[in-house]
A and B are shown apart, each in its own frame.
Chain A
Amino acid sequence: MPNQFEPKIVSFLCNWCSYAGADLAGTSRISYPQNIRIIRVPCSGRVDPLFVVKAFLDGADGVMVLGCHPGDCHYQQGNYIAQRRYSIMHRLLEFTGIESERLFVDWVSASEGKRFAEVVTAFTERVRNLGPLPLIGTKKLSKEKFQEVAS
């Protein structure tokens, strides 16, 4: 399908579990959608909600935060803190009119390469169905328009 909407998805993967999980998916030659842009972070607790909002602001259609399963955090408590943060962030985004389905937080361990591919596939499909985020469309002066005005 040539005209199908391809969402941009930013994903923050924890170094110790999910990033290794993505690596395993790769070395096991399991294919998953190319829509995700992976950013490696030391821990899901490092992912400041600022990063998520910034990603949306700069044109991401969906954001993923993956960390170690509760109890397995390399730093003991990072994912517990992330859990609390994102439970609130989800509800705040929903309230401002950005569908909370665009933010996905889950736990994927280093041995779950197959599950990583499944999670990414399901989330990409979800965001594709939601369509592009309308936020960028609210800019009065888009990049294209700016160049048009400037020339």
Chain B
Amino acid sequence: MWAFLHRLASPRHFYHLTGRWIPWLGAATALCLATGLYLGLWVAPPDYQQGDSFRIMYVHVPAAWLSLFVYVFMAAAGAVGLIWNMKMADCLAVSAAPVGASFTFLALATGAIWGKPMWGTWWVWDARLTSELILLFLYLGYIALQNAIEDPRTAARAGAILAIVGSVNIPIIHYSVEWWNTLHQGPTVTRFDKPAIHPSMLWPLLLMALAFQLYFFTVLLMRARSELLWRERRSRWVRELLTQDDIQPSAEREEATP
């Protein structure tokens, strides 16, 4: 395990290994997404209170979960980069930010679309919604910081500190529906006793959440690989990769087998 992680920390191995993972991650994403959509939109029965509008849950909840997960991932990768001065971790943190921001936006937007028919309003300044909006601003602040600082090492360090400080918002978002009496409904899945949701409605949700999670890793690795190539442009393996005529996927695969 440690040997494997150590190999991953080497930019060259990371680039080649992840190049082979991406197609598999993409295929797994497509499979979960197709099954989840079929079960969620076609098979699952309408909710007895909310009718068919509850189907928005299958994109809203996975997007919201992912928005939190990506932030924790970004802060953790930033911390690793900060403490062990690891370039790979910086690449991952920087690459995670735009993905996280887009899913935070999606959680807020689908929430508004769901809120209109159910609550009669697109938006309320309730604790859950407000703290999720702050999360979006944290992501945007992080991205702005990366763009404002020229030197990637300094930018990564500043970004990591922002991400770590901002992570106090994560438990606030999670517990906001319990701490404050809000319009947003309480958790139905992550309760310690039995989830308050029927299996025929729960399965599509879990599949969609898994699909979003796999999708995050797919596009994260795609971003991180490009980021890595540019940051490592002075090293020999990148030079060789680029000056070998053209970089076709087949050529990369040959390169990857030692």
Do A and B share a complex? no
Name A's B-contacting residues (CB within 8 A).
none
Name B's A-contacting residues (CB within 8 A).
none
